[in-house]
Structure 1
Amino acid sequence: MSREIVNRICAALPGAEVSDPWGGGHDAWKLGGKMFACIGAMDLGVSVKTADIETAQFLIEMGRAERAPYFHRSWILVPWWLAEEDELRDRLLASYDLIRSKLPKKVQATIADRD
């Protein structure tokens, strides 16, 4: 897995935008101004939001993720060496869908459905 694969997956999502809010080579993917994925400058993997702290802890305990540094405990870091592309895509889509569901209905209505 790599930054390029994550960026390709995220770029294909309706309404997704990338920025580097802290400078120094971060890829922060946002939907409606809310982040759903972030690749740090050190390029160790991708951080994504989970539904809750318990889900994040479960994935960490199962060895499928690590705690995402600098993020809330509901975020996980999926290291490049750990996930296959299908699993990584699932984590990205789950994070995207979670953020989308929390956006105001008016904002949600302006974003096309994803395939």
Structure 2
Amino acid sequence: MWLRQQDHPSYSAAMSRQIVNAICRTFPGAEVSDPWGGGHDAWKVGGKMFACIGSTMPGVSVKTDSVETAQMLIDAGVGVRAPYFHRSWVNLPWSTSKDELRYRLAASYRLVRSGLTKTAQARLDPFE
């Protein structure tokens, strides 16, 4: 069983649920929900998830463009395998720097947003 996030050894001020949520909240059309109950923060755009903070595992899981990219990030020590997600997702630990976190969240958001229908994309405000 995992410790509470703030009690986990890898927890640091570099990243927290509050910081992740503050960043994701700035993305056009991004919405948060707890689809499974129990304290998850699932960030979605157009109904498709781009980031998820679990209720027990420390860190945030983000989508990458491929299994190979996810494996490269894991091999480089940037993240770990995101349990319960496709292998193209990685979990960024709480020790991730704020700049890296912002970059990975934005990349995941862009990837998911680009997969929406043209109509759904047109309804969203521009992003960077």
TM-score by length of 1: 0.97
- Are 1:20 and 2:16 matched, yes or no? no
Report % sequence identity. 65
Give the one of 58, 71, 80 matched to 2:94: 80
CA distance in 1, matches of 2:33, 2:91: 19
**Are the aligned partners of 1:47 and 1:77 in contact in 2 as well (CA < 8 Å)?**
yes
Number of aligned positions between the proteins: 114
Gaps of 5+ in 1: none
State yes or no: 1:113 paired with 2:126: yes
CA distance in 1, matches of 2:26, 2:127: 9
**Gaps in structure 2 of 5+ consecutive residues:** 1-14
Distance 1:96 1:86, change over 3 A: same
Question: Residues of 1 paired with 2:86 and 2:118: CA distance?
Answer: 25
Return the alpha-carbon distance in structure 2 between the equivalents of residues 93 and 13 of structure 1: 8
Match for residue 4 of structure 2? none
> Contact 1:65–1:78 (CA<8 Å) still a contact in 2?
yes
Deviations 1:32-85 (A, max 9, x none): 00000000001500000000000000000011100000000000000102x100
Q: Which runs of 4+ in 1 moved over 3 A?
A: none
Length-normalised TM-score, structure 2: 0.88
2:105 aligns to what? 92
Please identify the structure whose Cα radius of gyration is greater. 2
Partner of 1:31: 45
1:3 touches 1:43 (CA, 8 Å); kept in 2?
A: no
